[in-house]
């Protein structure tokens, strides 16, 4: 049950951060599509409920963990996408979220289809098969079964420069998310294990005619350790610089 709820909330977050100037052309999720959970009491709660509910159920925030700097970036992203509030209110929202949903709190791993198979995989073929199940249960809602994505929601993964780049780049995107012009992929690092991330990326890098190298769980673990302090999603420019430089971004924080 917890796994199914978490998947639905991730879907909600992916929709939430994809809303941009063309949001009126996007079909909003129906009322009750995601679980409504009570936010904790504290200074700033009323402002969060008033400002944030203009676009989404504020309980979606409960499945994200960031430090104050990370929450400030997210709040500013939401302002750029139409959220309304004074600077004092935005500061109060950031402080409330940082106090109640910090990285120090943590939360349980997301249990997806294929999670057990990923943990038990002993070779790349088994990892690919587990990754297919993980992709189908988590990623298809935005990137689609054929990997070609949705306009204003998620880019195509087919032939993607970043998805097929050196291992460290797609791993970083999965761990910490990526900001785009009209969308932000949420960070999945705290929700998914090294095995799950390695399997999902192996599937993406070997499906749809792709021939990029598989991803090993050890590589995910290494990069997770090296980027522990990362508090915000990567930008495409940051990642493209790593590609253009011909270096494995896994070795840089």
pLDDT of residue 211: 96
Residue range 227-252, pLDDT digits in tens: 888 878 898 888 877 656 554 544 44
pLDDT of residue 179: 84
Higher pLDDT, 140 or 152: 140
Mean pLDDT computed over 13-25: 38
- Give CA–CA dist 203/130, Å, rounded: 8
Residues 6+ apart with CB under 8 A from 151: none
pLDDT of residue 184: 75
Min mean pLDDT across 19-23, 71-75, 212-216 is at 19-23
pLDDT of residue 236: 82
pLDDT of residue 11: 44
pLDDT of residue 14: 45
The phi and psi torsions of 123 (rounded to 5 degrees) equal: -150, 175
Min mean pLDDT across 15-29, 82-96, 114-128, 218-232 is at 15-29
Mean pLDDT computed over 195-204: 97
Q: How many CB atoms within 10 Å of residue 138? A: 24
Mean pLDDT of the chain: 78
Residue range 156-174, pLDDT digits in tens: 999 999 999 999 999 999 9
pLDDT of residue 27: 32
So what's the architecture of 144-251 in CATH? Orthogonal Bundle (1.10)
pLDDT of residue 216: 97
Mean pLDDT computed over 110-118: 80
Instruction: Mark out the alpha helices in the chain (DSSP H runs).
Output: 2-18, 45-52, 68-80, 87-100, 115-120, 124-134, 140-143, 168-176, 194-206, 217-226, 236-244
pTM of the model: 0.64
Mean pLDDT computed over 213-223: 96
- Give CA–CA dist 218/220, Å, rounded: 5
Min mean pLDDT across 96-100, 108-112, 136-140 is at 108-112
Q: pLDDT class for 35, splitting at 50, 70, 90? A: very low
Mean pLDDT computed over 148-153: 83
132 in Cβ contact with 114 (< 8 Å): yes
pLDDT of residue 12: 45
pLDDT of residue 88: 94
Do β-strands 234-235 and 184-185 pair in parallel, antiparallel, or remain unpaired? Answer: unpaired
Mean pLDDT computed over 196-213: 97
Higher pLDDT, 80 or 2: 80
Task: Name the most confidently modeled range: 54-68, 126-140, 170-184.
Answer: 126-140
End-to-end CA separation in angstroms for the chain: 36
CATH 1.10.760.10 residue spans of the chain: 144-251
Residues 6+ apart with CB under 8 A from 156: 143, 147, 148, 149
């Amino acid at each position: 049950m917890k796994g199914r709820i978490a998947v639905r909330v991730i879907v909600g977050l992916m929709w939430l951060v994809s809303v941009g100037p063309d949001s009126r052309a996007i079909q909003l999720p129906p009322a009750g599509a995601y679980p409504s959970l009570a936010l904790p009491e504290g200074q700033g709660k009323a402002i969060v409920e008033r400002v944030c509910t203009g676009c989404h159920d504020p309980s979606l925030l409960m499945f994200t963990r960031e430090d104050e700097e990370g929450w400030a970036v997210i709040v500013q992203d939401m302002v750029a996408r139409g959220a309304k509030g004074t600077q004092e209110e935005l500061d109060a929202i950031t402080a409330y979220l940082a106090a109640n949903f910090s990285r120090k709190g943590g939360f349980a791993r997301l249990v997806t289809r294929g999670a057990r198979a990923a943990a038990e995989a002993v070779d790349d073929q088994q990892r690919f098969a587990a990754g297919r199940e993980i992709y189908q249960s988590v990623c298809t809602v935005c990137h689609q079964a054929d990997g070609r994505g949705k306009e204003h929601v998620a880019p195509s993964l087919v032939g993607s420069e970043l998805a097929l780049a050196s291992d460290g780049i797609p791993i970083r995107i999965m761990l910490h998310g990526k900001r785009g012009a009209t969308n932000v992929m949420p960070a999945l690092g705290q929700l998914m294990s090294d095995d799950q991330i390695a399997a999902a990326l192996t599937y993406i890098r070997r499906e749809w005619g792709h021939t990029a190298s598989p991803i090993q769980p050890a590589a995910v673990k290494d990069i997770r350790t090296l980027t522990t302090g990362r508090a915000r999603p990567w930008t495409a420019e940051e990642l493209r610089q790593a590609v253009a430089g011909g270096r494995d971004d896994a070795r840089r924080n």
